[in-house]
Amino acid sequence: MKDRFKWIKENPTEFSLSIAIIFTLSTCIIFFNWVLFSFSIVIIAIIIYNIWLSRKHVVQRLNRLKELDDKNRLLLLNTNKPFDPTKAVQNITDNLQYAINFVREIGKGNFNARLEGVNEDNIGLNNANLAGELINMKVQMKASAEAEQKRVWATQGLANFGDLIRTSSHDAKTLSQEVIIFLVKYLKANQGGIFILNDEDENRSYLELKAAYAFERKKYIDKTVEIGEGLVGQAYLEKETIHLRKIPQNYVSITSGLGGANPSTLILVPMKYEEQVLGVIELASFKHFEQHEIEFCEKIAETFGSTLSGVKVNERTRQLLEQSQEQSEEMRAQEEEMRQNMEEMQATQEEMARKENSYIEKIDSLEAEFEKVRRKLSSQNNETLQAENKALQEKLNQLTQAFDLLKKEKESLADQILHQSTHSAREEQNPVWQQTTNDLQKSLQAMNIALQQLEKK
């Protein structure tokens, strides 16, 4: 019964025509009126013709709606639903509204928005229409936005790192501590460390852990790694970044108040400056590092390597400056000592010159007495000569004692000159010292000549 009412509802024209035919035929049969019958036939024919025209127009409208629906599926959005002529126009307006809403959400920056009407079942049917192009546009804009976000993130990080380098201490240990804190926080890692090459000993070079940081705390760990030992030493030798997603058991453990666990990923980045590796940065985390984060870490390592090279040069320069200052202090003390020694030697020189003049006068006096004795030898007797000879002998003994004392003073002065001449290379090059030494040597030569004369007498 329901099917019959449904047919009447869907085909009112056919139902009206059937009622009219049944009514006309029934009337003609009942009244036997051929005129009425003929008239009814004409009326029925006209009705049938109108119905045919109406049906033709309906078919044309259905074809146009079907064509419009096909274009809607081809150009706008294909929901893969059966054709419904009563909803064809509504589907077009709905699809346009879906597209408008979708574009509006994308304009707001919501790249996770979904185009209504598109699902996993029909997404393959919408690759070449407006819906597919909008989805592709969203994917491209999302990729561009993510790339721009990563670029801004890296640029901001490098700027912050540059500020850190400019304002931080120029001590290698302090600077390393600040750098590893910055990296762990900015990369949202869990822990990290910086190993720096220690080549102070010419016979042994090794990597020394300068700074470590984990779970918002500095870690004070004394650790050294030989070149080529472990992952750190391998990264140093290979001069390339090592990125591990499968970390060896017990290689490193991230420990917090809740317990310990192995990290999910590990990166080791060598710090290079002019093709020379100065150290290695090690970072461990529970989350995987993305490619842009690894590239950012490599740029940080390169910048820090350049800075570290300068810091090392500055530290060596500072050490050399301190050594130079210490040597300067020592040289000033030596110069002061040399000055005092020169003053003492000048006083000694003056004293030796005074004694030299005194001995020369004594020699001259003794020569005069000898001359007197020779003259008296011919005129005086032996007793008188013996008395004079005895007195002369006493004077000779006194002069001999003075001669021995003068020789000792000469030897002492010679030892002082020899000691001062070998004191330091710088003192030897001092013109005042050389002049004083030359004067003393000349005085010694004069004393030698006088002593030789005295020995002859």
Residue 314 lies in a domain: no
Shared-domain flag, residues 66 and 125: no
Is 112 in the same domain as 146?
Answer: yes
Please check the confidence at residue 129 and state whether its pLDDT lies above 70: yes
Q: How many other CB atoms are there within 10 angstroms of residue 343's CB atom?
A: 11
pLDDT digits (tens, 9 = 90+) for 9-36: 556 666 666 666 666 666 666 665 666 6
Residue ending a domain, among 121, 151, 181, is 151
Q: Is residue 298 part of a domain?
A: no
Please tell me the predicted confidence (pLDDT) of residue 258: 37
- Report the pLDDT value the prediction gives residue 326, as an integer from 0 to 100: 85
Give residue 402's identity as a one-letter amino acid code.
Answer: A
- Token reading at 46: 């006209």
Domain end among 151, 181, 204: 151
Query: Higher confidence at residue 427 or residue 450?
Result: 450
Domain membership of residue 302 (yes or no) is no
| Together in a domain, 362 and 392 | yes
Query: Does residue 255 share a domain with residue 222?
Result: yes
More confident residue, 435 or 105: 105
Express as a percent the part of the chain with pLDDT over 70: 63
Rounded to whole angstroms, the Cα distance separating 421 from 425 reads 9
Co-location of 47 and 136 in the same domain: no
Residue 161 falls inside a structural domain: no
User: 197, 205 in Cβ contact below 8 A?
Assistant: yes
pLDDT given for residue 299 in this prediction: 93
Instruction: Please give the pLDDT value at position 363.
Output: 64
Angular region, 242: left φ>0, alpha ψ -120 to 50, beta rest: beta
Mean pLDDT of all residues in 219-246: 83
CA distance 247 to 231: 11
Where a domain ends, among 289, 311, 327? 289
- Total domains, the chain: 4
Percent of the chain with pLDDT over 90: 13
pLDDT-derived band at 360 (thresholds 50, 70, 90) equals: low
Say if 82 falls within a structural domain. Answer: no
pLDDT of the residue at 434: 58
What pLDDT does 158 receive? 93
Amino acid at 441: Q
Mark whether 451 and 348 lie in a shared domain. yes
Q: Same structural domain for residues 6 and 41? A: yes
* CATH number reported for the structural domain that contains residue 249 in this entry: 3.30.450.40
Does a structural domain hold residue 160?
no
Most distant CA pair in the chain, distance: 226
Q: How far apart are CA 320 and CA 71, in angstroms?
A: 85
204 assigned to some structural domain: yes
Residue 219 or 425, more confident? 219
Same domain, 42 and 117: no
Q: Can you tell me the mean pLDDT for 133-138?
A: 89
The answer, yes or no, to whether residue 37 has pLDDT greater than 70, is no
Report the pLDDT value the prediction gives residue 426, as an integer from 0 to 100: 44
The pLDDT assigned to 262 comes to 72
* 274, 377: one domain: no
Instruction: Please report the pLDDT score of residue 439 as a whole number.
Output: 57
Q: What is the pLDDT of residue 7?
A: 54
Question: Looking at this protein, which amino acid is placed at residue 79?
Answer: T
pLDDT surpasses 50 at 306:
yes
- Whether residues 211 and 231 share a domain: the answer is yes
Average pLDDT, the chain: 76
Residue 417: pLDDT over 80: no
Mean pLDDT of 212-238: 77
Between 101-105, 244-248, 373-377, the lowest mean confidence (pLDDT) is in 373-377
Q: Is the pLDDT of residue 53 over 90?
A: no
Q: What is the pLDDT of residue 428?
A: 45
Query: Quick one: 68 and 96 in the same domain?
Result: no
Q: What is the mean pLDDT of residues 234-258?
A: 74
CA angle 149, 151, 153 (to 5 degrees): 65
Query: Quick one: average pLDDT of 403-407?
Result: 62
Q: Please check whether residues 23 and 118 belong to one and the same domain.
A: no
Band (295; pLDDT cuts 50, 70, 90): very high
pLDDT at residue 257, rounded to an integer: 40
Per the structure, the complete domain to which residue 438 belongs is given by: 336-456
For residue 425, the model assigns a pLDDT of 42
Q: How many angstroms separate the first and last alpha carbons of the chain?
A: 174
> Could you tell me where the beta strands, DSSP code E, fall in 121-205?
191-198
139-153 b/e with 16+ CB inside 10 Å = b?
eeeeeeeeeeebeee
Does the pLDDT value for residue 135 go beyond 80?
Answer: yes
Q: How much is the pLDDT for 24? A: 62
Structural domain contains residue 318: no
**Residues 195/209, Cβ–Cβ less than 8 Å:** yes
- The three state secondary structure string of 121-151 is CCHHHHCCCHHHHHHHHHHHHHHHHHHHHHH
Q: What is the pLDDT of residue 183?
A: 93
